[in-house]
Structure 1
């Protein structure tokens, strides 16, 4: 399916609807928890959050599925990708926190995990720029978390 060349009023309507969904109380709380509390430094940290008894598990599932659904719309040409990402890059922040261990995540947790986030991070100008910005933050976080030798 060809991607959209230009955004139109349908794209604007979808972006506004996605914004409304992000403002829902449970989603807002889940987003806040993931952004502030999920800062993995190893695959064990990533694996732990996928377990139902982890305190951030529900928030992780809420956020990861929301962003995968959102980015699927771009991947499948339902919405203009760069237009979407101008105000919906937060999912790439979560993706950047999983990306260092993405192969292990897919092998042990979900073979299709973060496929749509990966697609927008590699197939659009805005996605590449946003993902790179978040990767740099993650690399700095990991460097700061390394024990001094």
Structure 2
């Protein structure tokens, strides 16, 4: 796989197109729902959202596939990864919410490649690492609060 060394005008065009896609009404509604309402505190919470009758299922699927598409552009060298991450960190919030149960999720949905592009940007781009670490701290605080509430 080739990795772009520098962003160019094609990267800028892609970034603008990705931004336009995020502004589409259904996508905006899905992003808002996932960011504000999908706060898994257990594997059971993650499992629940995979069920077709879960209120966040469609939004979860739309957001997860959108961000995987975006991050695949960096992983495959279509778009400069660091440049892309300057405006596409939101998808890592979803990834870090799933990450504690990633292996279980992959096994459950029968897809060992689920979230692989998000995982890639968290390991292979400097900004991806920084953004993911910031979100992991939020997730950890959420999980600790959920455990404390159960105690």
- TM class by shorter chain equals over 0.9
1:144 aligns with 2:145: yes
- After superposition, residues 1-149 of structure 1 pair within 5 angstroms as 1-109=1-109, 110-147=111-148, 149=151
> What's the offset of the Cα at 1:131?
0.5
Aligned residue pair count: 149
> What's the offset of the Cα at 1:147?
3.2
Counterpart-to-counterpart distance in 2, 1:128 and 1:147: 28
More displaced stretch, 82-91 vs 109-118: 109-118
Runs of 4+ in 1 over 4 A off after TM superposition: none
CA RMSD of aligned residues (A): 0.8
Counterpart-to-counterpart distance in 1, 2:44 and 2:112: 17
> What's the offset of the Cα at 1:111?
1.9
TM-score scaled to structure 2, two decimals? 0.96
